[in-house]
Amino acid sequence: MNAAEAPFEFVTASYLTRIGNQSAGNIAELLTGLEHCSDASIFHHTFQTLGVHHFLTEGFSNDFAQWTLSSTNRNDLAEHLAALDIRDYTSIAALRSDLCRVVRDFCAAQPQLATQSGLERFHFCESVEVTMPLGRSARNLDEFREALEHLSHAGFYYHFISSRLRLQLQTNDFSVWLSGSLGLRTLADSINHIDVYTNTLDSARAKLLRLIDRTRRKA
């Protein structure tokens, strides 16, 4: 079995949500907020939701879509926002640009609806990540699998989802290490293609373990 020179170091992460001073009471204000909020805020309201609401796999995509649906009752706009496939993006700037485009189009087409007050305000927030080494590492696929199986949701979220912000939305910590350190490119690619939107964290982890097992059987 291949052994990596640089081991995979598992960390745990805890996330604090920092409440920003920006909020939106209607769709037009949502657009202003989207245009001016921090990158971390865009990431928080699109990807972070996968960690916080990781058990939901139906009809829930990002905080902007959910607020549009539940607070302004604009199903059409909510669907358009939810339909943006966040895995397609390779930068927060591009994601922000498309979110703004969708909301801007709505505001142009329905200016009266865009300024109607929602039931609750949308508050722009961002996540503050605090990481800590777990003191657990892996040098080969067996050790990696063993550690992965027992990783907490937060640790799994950190390596598999939150890492995408650091890695320019292209890949994740697991795939980087499996490809770069163990040379398992096919496995790394398959893992990177696990749909984080239609899986819960638990089911994504289960798929990941199955992919690893398949690779081990072939080896």
Partner 1 sequence: MTKTLAANRIPLENYSEVVGAGEIEELRALAKPLRGRSVEMINSTAVGGGVAEILNHLVPLAEELELGIRWDVMKGDEEFFDVTKSFHNALHGEPYLAKPKDFEIFLRYNEQNRATLPLDAEFVVVHDLQPAALVDARKPGPNHWVWRCHIDLSRPNRAVWEFLEQFVSRYDGAMFSSPEFSRQLPIPQYLFYPAIDPLSEKNCPLDSEFIAQVLLRYQIDPQRPILTQISRFDRLKDPVGVIRAYRIAKRYFDCQLVLAGGSASDDPEGVLVLKEVRRAADQDPDIKILELPAWAPLEVNALQRASTIVVQKSLREGFGLTVSEALWKKKPVVASAVGGIPTQIIHKHTGLLAHSVEGIAYQIRFLLSHPEIAAKLGANGHEHVKENFLITQKLKRYLALFLLLDRA
- Please tell me the distance from the alpha carbon of residue 8 to that of residue 216, in angstroms, as a whole number: 18
For tokens 């921090």, the residue is 38
For tokens 């990177």, the residue is 192
Nearest to 209 by CA among 146, 157, 159: 146
Q: Which is nearer to partner 1, 59 or 183 (by Cβ)?
A: 59
Kindly compute the dihedral angle of the four CA atoms of residues 173, 177, 180, 182, in this order, to the nearest 10 degrees.
Answer: -160
- By CB under 8 A, tell whether 32 contacts partner 1: no
- By CB under 8 A, tell whether 94 contacts partner 1: no
Q: Which is nearer to partner 1, 48 or 179 (by Cβ)?
A: 48
Stretch that binds partner 1, among 32-40, 98-106, 122-130, 161-169 (CB under 8 A): 122-130
**Using CB under 8 A, which of 28, 31, 86, 125 touches partner 1?**
125
Which residues, numbered 159-218, are part of the site for partner 1 (CB under 8 A)? none
For tokens 């690779």, the residue is 215
> Which token pair is 89?
């993006």
Q: Which is nearer to partner 1, 56 or 93 (by Cβ)?
A: 56
Q: Is the dihedral of CA 56, 59, 62, 68 positive or negative?
A: negative
Q: Which residues bind partner 1 (CB under 8 A)?
A: 12, 14-19, 21, 23, 52-56, 59-60, 66, 69-70, 119-121, 123, 125, 128, 130, 132-135, 150-155
